[in-house]
Structure formats: C-alpha cells, structure tokens
Amino acid sequence: MKISKNLALIMILMITFSCSSNLSKNLVQDGNLILRNGTFADKSWREDLIFQRISWYHELTMQFDLMMAHITPQSSFNFWFSKVELDRMTDCNDSRIVMAYSLDTKDIPFSSLNEQLEKSGFTRFELPEFKKNLFQHPDSQINGFRLYHIFGICKKSKDTNPKLLNFPGYLEKVIN
C-alpha cells in the first residue's frame, strides 16, 4: 500500500513540474484570421479576406501579433484602397497588407519587424484609406484592430527565397 501512495505522490509531482515548466516557454503559433464580406459606398460583397497570422507568446501572454494578407487584383476589397494606394499595391511583384501588434515595444519592437522585412526586400508604405475602411468593418472592434499598426509592404523583385522572422528567445518563423 505504501508503494502505491509513493508512486501516486511521484506522479503528482512529475505532472506539477511538467505543467509549470511548460508555462515558462516562449511559443510561436500560426493560423488565419478571416474577415468576411465587405462594403464600400453603395457596394457590398460576399468575399473573405484571409490574413495569415503568427503570434508570439510568453507563457500565456501574447507579446507580438503579425497578420498579413494578399489582395488579388480581382478582389472587391480593392475598393477600400485610394487610387494611390491601389497603384502602389499593383506595382509590386509581392504586396501585402500588414497588421502588427506589440504588447511591449521594449520586448519585441516594431523596428525589429521592419528591419527583417527590409532584409527580405520589402519596402513599407502607409495605407490611410484602407485602414479607415478596415476600422469600419464590424469585426474590427471585436478583434481590436485599433491596437495594430496597419500598413502595406511591397517587393518589386521576383524572389522565391523564404521570408524568415526571428525574434530573440523565440523559434524562427517562415512567412508564406
């Protein structure tokens, strides 16, 4: 009987230590955020805007969140761009909408993201009209989009090299 009590105690201690050791790890998770449908002036459409999402966590707290989306030339979401913004997006071989959030810019600064995007050949530009229209989407408030830096990135060259993001203390992540 004593052996089974000792065994049970050892098992409880092992489970407790394994759970607490998992909480001290930095995690990188990826997935998608889907923005369904849209409107602009007298137009309304049933289409999804899919953002590739990568989130960096320390324990259970999200430290940095990055979402990127391609908008095809045929997409109705192009109505959200001004003419200048749309021209900028279509002049690129690879253009994306970027939404980035940092809980504490001392831990993971936006400048680190910008440097890595530049090293991958992207230039950054502002999207004030797209941003204004995005904020009017019903899902904007639910997802806290006002907490995000929203901008466009453009790569003129045709490059098939993988785009890597690497923040100190986290595993490297490939951007598609």
At 10 the pLDDT is 65
Q: Residue 17: how many CA atoms within 13 Å on its side-chain side? A: 6
Distance separating alpha carbons of residues 20 and 93, to the nearest angstrom: 46
At residue 161 the predicted structure's pLDDT band, cuts being 50, 70 and 90, is confident
18-41 pLDDT, tens digit per residue, is: 544 454 589 999 999 999 999 999
Give me the chain's average pLDDT, please: 89
Closest CA to 88 of 76, 98, 96, 99: 96
88-121 pLDDT, tens digit per residue, is: 999 999 999 999 999 998 899 999 999 999 999 9
Specify the higher pLDDT residue, 72 or 5: 72
Can you give the pTM of this predicted structure? 0.83
